[in-house]
Structure 1
Amino acid sequence: MNDELILAIETSCDETSAAVVRNGRNVLSNIVSSQVESHKRFGGVVPEIASRHHVEQITIIVEEAMKEADVSFADLDAVAVTEGPGLVGALLIGVHAAKAIAFAHDLPLIGVHHIAGHIYANQLTMESFHFPAIALVVSGGHTELVYLKEHGAFEIIGETRDDAVGEAYDKVARTIGLPYPGGPHIDRLAAEGEPTISLPRAWLEPDSYDFSFSGLKSAVINTVHNYKQRNEQLPINDLAASFQASVIDVLVQKTKRAASEYEVKQIVLAGGVAANKGLRTALKDTFAECDVEVSIPPLHLCTDNAAMIGAAASLKLRTKQFSGYDLNGNPGIDLEQW
């Protein structure tokens, strides 16, 4: 097989990223420009500001990715871009850039589902997928259990009914005075505390693989208020540890039950919260005694990046599932119809 080179672009939220990926596995470049400092003072991502930063950065980042990969546009086989979900204004910057490049250089255009990208980030570091598999997707906007019967066949078997897990982390962090993004700070404090505070675990119906974190978030807020009303010092490390223990317990146990019911050969972790050390450790420990492989991407491939979009796009390139120039940002795109 001849080498297939894909230029991939990711602008779904607050990272502007471009990458060149060979054969869906080898990352020749993966440039990421983060906007965290711009959004930190607001306590979250401001869509208008995110879009403006993408406009300023996109051409620079694409040029840097091409230069680092040491390839020309004539060497490329396709241009891939995140089609959705995400912030519509942010998505449009990447989509229009990809369409312009594809048109100018007569290259196939491939729209990619952002979550498919997170799942296929695993392909960049592991030998191969082993089907059937379950993907645990955990990020600021998504919490899902996805059954994969084969490549590209996604079936969502469980999803959050309210807050995504990353969203819950950020809201709890804000409540206890931690800066945005809150997830890494809570993960760090949890490692220094003990889960001594009783907090709820939302298991929902016995056969459900859905998630719910709004009640847990409310319980943390009430706990903080109770300590303040009693004029007592808040045990912030223990509260972080208790919150994280509740989250991880539900995520891991539902994943374990799904793995058993669907008789899967592999668990893949995906999304920005996949960088959480507590979750990574718990997932590995839980499946250590099982005949189920656990794949977890390295930290730099957990958060939004274009290399993961290139990995997922390789599937569509090989089956010639190309997009037209009417491709648009689609915040509501369906993973199962990716």
Structure 2
Amino acid sequence: MDTQISYILAIESSCDDTACAVLKNDKVLSNVVAGQEIHEKYGGVVPELASRAHQSHIVPVITQALKQAGIKKEQLNAISFTRGPGLMGSLLVGTSFAKSLALALNIPLIDVHHMHGHILAHFIDNDGQEKPSFPFLAITISGGHTQIVKVADYHDMEVIGTTQDDAIGEAFDKSGKLLGLGYPAGPQIDKLATSGDPLKFPFPIPKAPDLNYSFSGFKTAVLYFVQREVKKQPDFITNNLNDICASIQHTLIKILFQKIEKAVQQTGIKTVAIGGGVSANSGIRSQLNSYKEKGWNVFIPPFEYTTDNAAMIGISAYHKYKKGYSA
């Protein structure tokens, strides 16, 4: 199948974004995402509301993706979808639609692990941009995951480090909520941190064994810090917001990279690629780039492939399709 042209339609519906992409082999022809603003007033994703929104979004999103790609559904060679992890109701919408469409068109159905998609997003043909060589270390960082993955092949991945409690994205968002920032707070902290002093307020580094992470203690430390300082000075947050954000971001980046450095030392693998929504953070991107001076080969995905999207599901499915896989 390597020499053939293959059109794959991919559906991603693991959380609150309804996404569809069409790929021609490893090239993205369209990548459409419909978000759900309804969750902002609740300070987080409400599963029932998310699944209802997916039901209303999925047909228009798929129609738009096919139109932008300039192909008809009859030209598709396979349908792919996110099988998990994610919100059960949200996943069910994408899974059901993908199965029905594949059955109607009588073409293969390919299921994709959400986090594998984030990792393999680096293999999308992005105007000749260099791709990681195997083996490499993938760092998946999002609102629900923080993992260090040893990637030996497109289909051979081993998690060698993971969070024992909360993910780094949740640590960003919950810390921001304590400061009165809206949801999602991570991008706001990143923006505010650029004009703050990262060393102004020291926060503790949680301990976790081996290559694992822990962020629950960090969130608790931020909570106690805010409560203590506001009690002494009611306007403390307003007067120090940029410095607080810079200090929070600095500490979370330090926590993240301590284990990445350890993973590189233990495995001897100096090719490191990040993926997931939090990989859009400017501080993390800058820190990873700085390791080029130590001889690391670093890979950072384009912004459109960091947050949940269907193109990453499509590229993962493409490599499964080449192997003849079908769900």
* TM bracket, shorter-chain basis: over 0.9
2:304 is the alignment partner of 1:303: no
- Partner residue, 1:162: 165
Matched residues in 2 for 1:308 and 1:134: separation?
17
Contact 1:40–1:181 at 8 Å: present in 2 too? yes
Deviation string 1:212-238 (CA, Å, 9 cap, x unpaired) is 111111111111101111125231111
What is the CA distance between 1:290 and its match in structure 2? 2.8
Contact 1:267–1:294 at 8 Å: present in 2 too? yes
The one-letter code of the counterpart of 1:313 is A
- Partner residue, 2:105: 105
Task: Point out 4+ residue stretches in structure 1 off by more than 4 angstroms.
Answer: none
What is the CA distance between 1:131 and its match in structure 2? 1.3
Matched residues in 2 for 1:228 and 1:64: separation?
49
- Partner residue, 1:64: 64
Residues 94-173 of structure 1 aligned to structure 2 (within 5 Å): 94-124=94-124, 125=126, 126-173=129-176
Matched residues in 2 for 1:249 and 1:15: separation?
30
Q: Select the residue among 174, 178, 183 that pairs with 1:180.
A: 183
2:284 is the alignment partner of 1:279: yes
The one-letter code of the counterpart of 2:10 is A
Matched residues in 2 for 1:150 and 1:96: separation?
29
What is the CA distance between 1:252 and its match in structure 2? 1.5
What is the CA distance between 1:177 and its match in structure 2? 0.1
- Note the residue ranges of structure 1 that are not aligned, 5 or more in a row: 324-338
Contact 2:132–2:299 at 8 Å: present in 1 too? no
- Partner residue, 1:243: 248
2:218 is the alignment partner of 1:213: no
> Identity, % of aligned pairs?
43
- Partner residue, 2:46: 46
What is the CA distance between 1:64 and its match in structure 2? 0.5
**Structure 2 residue matching 1:119: 3-state secondary structure:** helix
What is the CA distance between 1:43 and its match in structure 2? 0.2
The one-letter code of the counterpart of 2:280 is A
Larger displacement relative to structure 2 (70-79 or 179-188)? 70-79
Q: Select the residue among 321, 324, 330 that pairs with 2:325.
A: 321
What is the CA distance between 1:265 and its match in structure 2? 4.3
Matched residues in 2 for 1:14 and 1:194: separation?
34
Matched residues in 2 for 1:115 and 1:155: separation?
12
**Structure 2 residue matching 1:255: 3-state secondary structure:** helix
Matched residues in 2 for 1:185 and 1:69: separation?
33
2:231 is the alignment partner of 1:226: no
Contact 2:120–2:154 at 8 Å: present in 1 too? no
What is the CA distance between 1:46 and its match in structure 2? 0.3
Matched residues in 1 for 2:242 and 2:155: separation?
41
Matched residues in 2 for 1:185 and 1:242: separation?
14
Deviation string 1:127-159 (CA, Å, 9 cap, x unpaired) is 333111000110000000000122211100100
Contact 2:147–2:159 at 8 Å: present in 1 too? yes
TM-score for both structures, normalised by structure 2: 0.95
Matched residues in 2 for 1:253 and 1:166: separation?
17
Matched residues in 1 for 2:48 and 2:84: separation?
17
TM-score for both structures, normalised by structure 1: 0.92
The one-letter code of the counterpart of 1:275 is A
- Partner residue, 2:261: 256
C-alpha RMSD of matched pairs (Å): 1.1
**Structure 2 residue matching 1:267: 3-state secondary structure:** strand
The one-letter code of the counterpart of 1:185 is Q
Matched residues in 2 for 1:179 and 1:308: separation?
28
- Partner residue, 1:83: 83
2:271 is the alignment partner of 1:269: no
Matched residues in 2 for 1:238 and 1:218: separation?
19
- Partner residue, 1:289: 293
